[in-house]
Amino acid sequence: MEITASLVKELRERTGAGMMECKKALTEANGDVDAAAEALRKSGLAKADKKASRVAAEGRVATAQADGRAVLVEVNSETDFVAKDENFLAFTEAVAAAALAVDGTDVEALKAAKLASGESVEEARAALIAKVGENVQVRRMARVDSGNNTAAYVHGGRIGVLVELKGGDAELARGLAMHVAAMNPPYNTAADVPADFVAKEKEIELAKMSDKDKAKPAEILEKIISGKIAKIVNEVTLAGQPYVLDTDRTVEQVLKAAGAEVVGFQRLAVGEGIEKVVEDYAAEVMKQAGLA
């Protein structure tokens, strides 16, 4: 059967594969578009398996929000170049939309979820790998299911935040999400700071003090140490930090004025916790040229 340009075009639009790959698949399938599409899908899965061990530490964080649900998903690629590719961007947005219908934060359940196109997230991921030529991983997700004020904010595609706020309004929730994105507080309030963290900081502050200060009466020494610890606790808590949209007030003061309380927040940053491979291309070239 003759493999016409229209057949190749149809298969390309259906699968997103390259022209030569489509023509080859159609030739092998004797012009059967369905069989050729299935072959390309299997080929994509094979390519995905081969690339699965390659480090994917770049990527995007995407968000979706509807009907009291808000989600963040992190999807990784090997390079920032692919992370900006329109196919990759469309995939991350589609995955975020699919995550709204998934209960919990299990990534395996998300991979099995259906996209608007009818294919699963995992099938679309394999097809994307075949298209962009890099390892792509759906790494993790975060979610809030609540009737409270909830904000989902993504900064530059690389940092995503969810904030759940009791009281206040949507504008305040979004402002707090922007604050968390910028300041990355480890804890919400002083009550959330672990006792061992406080004990360690006391030990450090005491070790930094001069012998003269250490010789002061116990109650005065305790007051000095307590003041230093209070400052440290403010620095590591959302409530204690100066609010980024109004630095004359702390977040705690802003919340009190609005009659609001932060129930919790979640923050995802692209690639955090992944050990990246740093390539020294100049050294590699010199080595291959026998100059090193």
CATH superfamily for domain 5-51: Ubiquitin-associated (UBA) domain (1.10.8.10)
Per-residue pLDDT tens digits for 100-144:
999 999 999 999 999 998 999 999 998 898 888 888 999 999 999
**Cα dihedral: 257, 68, 146, 159 (round 10):** -70
Quote the pLDDT of residue 273: 86
> What pLDDT is recorded for position 34?
85
Which H or E run includes 172? helix 170-183
Domain with CATH 1.10.8.10 in the chain: 5-51
* 3 state DSSP class of 71: strand
Cβ neighbours of 217 (radius 10 Å)? 8
Write the DSSP assignment of 185-216 as a string of letters. -SBSSGGGS-HHHHHHHHHHHHHHS-HHHHTS
pLDDT on residue 46: 41
pTM for the predicted model, two decimal places: 0.75
Alpha carbons 285 and 100: distance in angstroms, whole number: 47
Architecture of the domain whose range is 52-145: 2-Layer Sandwich (3.30)
Specify the domain boundaries for CATH 3.30.479.20 within the chain.
52-145
Neighbouring C-alpha atoms within 13 Å toward the C-beta of 208: 10
Structure-block tokens of residue 239: 């409530």
> Across residues 202-216, what is the average pLDDT?
80
End-to-end distance of the chain based on CA atoms, in angstroms? 56
